[in-house]
Amino acid sequence: MVILTHHATRQAQRRGATHRSVELAAEFGARARTRDGCFVRILTERAAQQAQRRHPLGVHEVQRALGTTVITEESDTLRTVITVLSKHKAIGPERYNKHHREAVYV
């Protein structure tokens, strides 16, 4: 199950990412751990191919979602999207700062 915080919803709107793109990135994106225990997930070509194998998705929908980057907190049953980052910025766990986690939970 994927939940978006209020902050993540606003950031997605600002950056032109659809709700479906954010869900795909949170569910199937390539994962890297950050310093504070969150995860950076990026929907790469390989992750998009896995998503297409598991779910009937349109080509346009997957192409639009490619490169979507999200920061998530994860438990066994729940993935909470904290924020949505710009598609064009390269980010890794070493560039993610703890102050990004100050999101408002809904």
The predicted structure's pLDDT at residue 54: 86
Q: What's the structural domain count of the chain?
A: 1
Stated pTM of the model: 0.77
Rg for the chain, CA atoms, rounded:
13
Query: Domain range holding 49?
Result: 2-89
In a domain, 40, yes or no: yes
In a domain, 104, yes or no: no
Better-scored residue on pLDDT, 84 or 88: 84
88 pLDDT band, cuts 50/70/90, is low
The predicted structure's pLDDT at residue 7: 93
In a domain, 99, yes or no: no
In a domain, 103, yes or no: no
Q: Does the structure show a pLDDT above 90 at 92?
A: no
pLDDT tens, 37-55? 899 999 999 988 888 888 8
In a domain, 10, yes or no: yes
Residues 6+ apart with CB under 8 A from 104: 5, 6, 7
